[in-house]
Structure 1
């Protein structure tokens, strides 16, 4: 009975129509509110980390982010596949809820906050659903620009949020920041529930779910059947591994090891966000001028440069330069996501984006372990990883070749599947 009641509740939630026709603007609001709430907590989290784990700050930061990333890797294919079956709205509601769930825990107990933050990775993988939603409501010509807008919106949420969170913390205390972040995240959940319309028509949804769709390791093995997607996934791993490590450790590193104050760190994050917005808004134009493959390579070269700067720099101005170059390199992931979307149809878009997000989750799990120290070694390791990614990305076919390869591969796959269905005597 409880199971039937839960199913009825989920169906009811998914049936709420939302406001207007589904469009990219709906998910842009979701992304902005989600990361604005977490951006408010940037400085309070660093202070809480230092207070809770004074002797093992970087180690525990890496552990929390690592567990969360590994759980995201394990669950992302399932989330993507479920969105292909039950629609994007229901899964977006679930993932946004679990992403925001740890925020109010900061007022209860620091240990509970970090524990729930780690566990929230099980369902806190909203980006796979967001990218699938964007693919549902855009044409392939519009998709690159739309992915750039999603990435720019993520950056926009960080323009004032860290500085605002730090200001509120100094004036009114950390609990006030947590309260405001909780209200923002709750508003986001309500917005998804009442305002976001479903983007995936029932007629193009997948018929059912199999364990093969949900198993992240089988998903990785299936990638090998298409050499272009396999190559892209390896490239994603090579550049996201150091990127995830930086994301989890660099703010704390700059504050605790390089002497950045909260105000200066907030200014750096804001400036980086503005640069990131600018280049991601321009992503559609960049791809039109130089192509998707060269856009990916451009982002990789910029990431390589900023990792080298972090590795050899010992002055604040070098950290500022590295941060700004890092902001410009943020075009890489949306460019890859747009490229990958060429290989999937509407009914499998969630599964494909879930696979890429799963790879991101794996890097989010392993990256913090690599960057749990403050020495130059991890940054040089990251630079070598990105350099290998550049070499591999050079073998990715351009867009026209990729489309042709996809059509040939789909035809071959259909023939193989038909042969497998013929019973043997």
Structure 2
């Protein structure tokens, strides 16, 4: 059941296993996207602006817990292997979705959201898993394939979640619980271990498992530190979607849960196409640096158009451009993994996830807060697209940093392996 992966003979099978595991997890998260803001709105008993502030609190708490737990999960995977950490993540999320389905007040729903932050490690460990089993020159393509799993989760999850929310706003949580527990069973029986005992860290190091220590670990790799800033800004910008998109679409275009579910499904289709069909050949032909800059440039364009869109068709027209931002993540991740050895991939990915969590702490408050502020009756100017303009600004800054630090040919930093 838990035999270590014999590379490279079963590399493709291993990537298929990790793809399905990540797909099921993101399907579960996608299911609750359309209904959660409206469930919060119902339990809060307030206006759309009030619900926006509550969503900010939920998102910030989720990210704060991830900030603390991600480096611990990464360090545990470096010491004990990737497989047990992924399994624990799936089991914990399944139980937590049941808890959230039963929550009858905002405080209890808040507790459930916090617990989900503790166990949401599958994507972090999946990145380390890919680095274990894939040669450096193929990693951007492999990260693109896992990105396609994320996109497929956005295709089917929100569409189904929007329909289920019409029946009962709690039904998506029950369905998500079933999917995540299915992922646990799948991983238990078929997911192989990718990190052999001789390649693991010799001990669990608390100095790198705590979030501040894990961020300091990034400074040991000069180029990684700059790329980490890019990854942070890209993810900060992308937090505009979970923070305000549902409420933004309802306020500006009067789209309800089912309509938003279909739109998010369309985003997922585009994401799958980009990740599965374009990223691999694009990175291979033009290199990781150009792919990174290309994706960020089109991301800026997409956010600006969405912010300006007065009609729903304008937003839909902007989606293909914004989806090309998907090039940025796999290209940056591939550049990062070239810099570190196998025994530190988990901790580096944990540190990067901590940065994403910092983005999640700042992003929901900033985006949902600015949305609520600029649609309020006493706002100095009515500007519901303000969050998307802010996201575009962050991507512009990230593009400048990427121009400096994303070298065309990265070389592994000469840093000794941990003991």
Q: Tell me whether the two structures share a fold, i.e. TM-score over 0.5.
A: yes
Compute the displacement of 1:305 (Å). 1.0
- Is the Cα contact below 8 Å between 1:18 and 1:194 reproduced in 2? no
- Matching of residues 117-156 of structure 1 within 5 Å: 117-156=113-152
The one of 220, 226, 231 equivalent to 1:231 is: 226
Does the 8 Å contact 1:42/1:165 carry over to 2? yes
Partners in 2 of 1:152 and 1:72 — Cα distance? 23
Which residue, out of 95, 99, 102, partners 2:96?
102
TM-score normalised according to structure 2 size: 0.88
Match of 1:60 in 2: 54
**Aligned in 2, Cα 1:174/1:122: closer, same or farther, shift over 3 Å?**
closer
Matched position secondary structure for 1:208: coil
Provide the C-alpha distance between the structure 2 equivalents of 1:235 and 1:176, rounded to a whole number of angstroms. 37
Q: Is the 8 A contact 1:18 1:196 kept in 2?
A: no
Cα RMSD after superposing both structures: 2.3
For the Cα contact (< 8 Å) 1:39–1:162, is it kept in 2?
yes
Matched residues in 1 for 2:184 and 2:247: separation?
Answer: 29
Looking at structure 1, the residues matched to 206 and 173 of structure 2 have their Cα atoms a distance apart, in angstroms, of: 39
Q: Quick one: structure 1 residues 158 and 384, their matched pair in 2 at CA, closer, same or farther if it must change by over 3 Å?
A: closer
Q: Deviations 1:258-314 (Å, cap 9, x if unpaired)?
A: 311333222211111111111111211110111101111111111111221232222
Aligned with 2:254: secondary structure?
A: coil
Q: TM-score, normalised by structure 1?
A: 0.87
2:312 equivalent in structure 1: 316
> Residue 392 of structure 1 aligns with which residue?
401
Match of 1:84 in 2: 78
Q: Secondary structure at the match of 1:344?
A: coil
| More off after superposition, 264-273 vs 150-159 | 264-273
Compared with structure 1, are the counterparts of its residues 231 and 212 closer, same or farther at alpha carbon in structure 2 (3 Å cutoff)? Answer: same
Check whether the contact 2:90–2:181 (CA below 8 A) recurs between aligned residues: no
* Deviation readout 1:80-102 (Å, 9 max, x if unpaired): 11101000011111222333443
Q: Which residue of the partner structure matches residue 218 of structure 1?
A: 213
Give, in whole Å, the separation in 1 of the partners of 2:180 and 2:362.
27
**Aligned counterpart, 1:298:** 294
| C-alpha distance in 1 between matches for 2:387 and 2:91 | 34
Q: Is the 8 A contact 1:304 1:387 kept in 2?
A: yes
Q: Does 1:380 align with 2:389?
A: yes
Match of residue 377 from structure 2: none
Change (3 A) 1:106 1:351: closer
Cα deviation for residue 19 of structure 1 reads: 10
**CA positional deviation for 1:414:** 4.6
Is 1:49 the equivalent of 2:55? no
Q: 1:324 to 1:99 in 2, by over 3 A?
A: farther
Which segments of 5 or more consecutive residues in structure 2 lack a partner in the other structure? Answer: 372-383
1:70–1:366: 8 Å Cα contact kept in structure 2? no
Decide whether aligned partners of structure 1 residues 103 and 131 sit closer, same or farther in structure 2, where only a CA change above 3 A counts: same
Q: How many residues align?
A: 395
Residue 245 of structure 2 is matched in structure 1 by: 250
1:152-301 to 2 correspondence within 5 Å?
A: 152-170=148-166, 172-281=167-276, 282-301=278-297
**Gap regions ≥5 residues in structure 1:** 1-14
The CA deviation at 1:166 is 2.5
1:9 maps to what in 2? none
Deviations 1:333-359 (A, max 9, x none): 122111111112211111111111111
Q: CA offset at residue 225 of structure 1?
A: 3.5
Per-residue deviation, 1:204:
0.8
Q: Secondary structure at the match of 1:200?
A: coil
In structure 2, relative to structure 1, the CA distance for the partners of 1:175 and 1:260 (3 Å cut) is closer
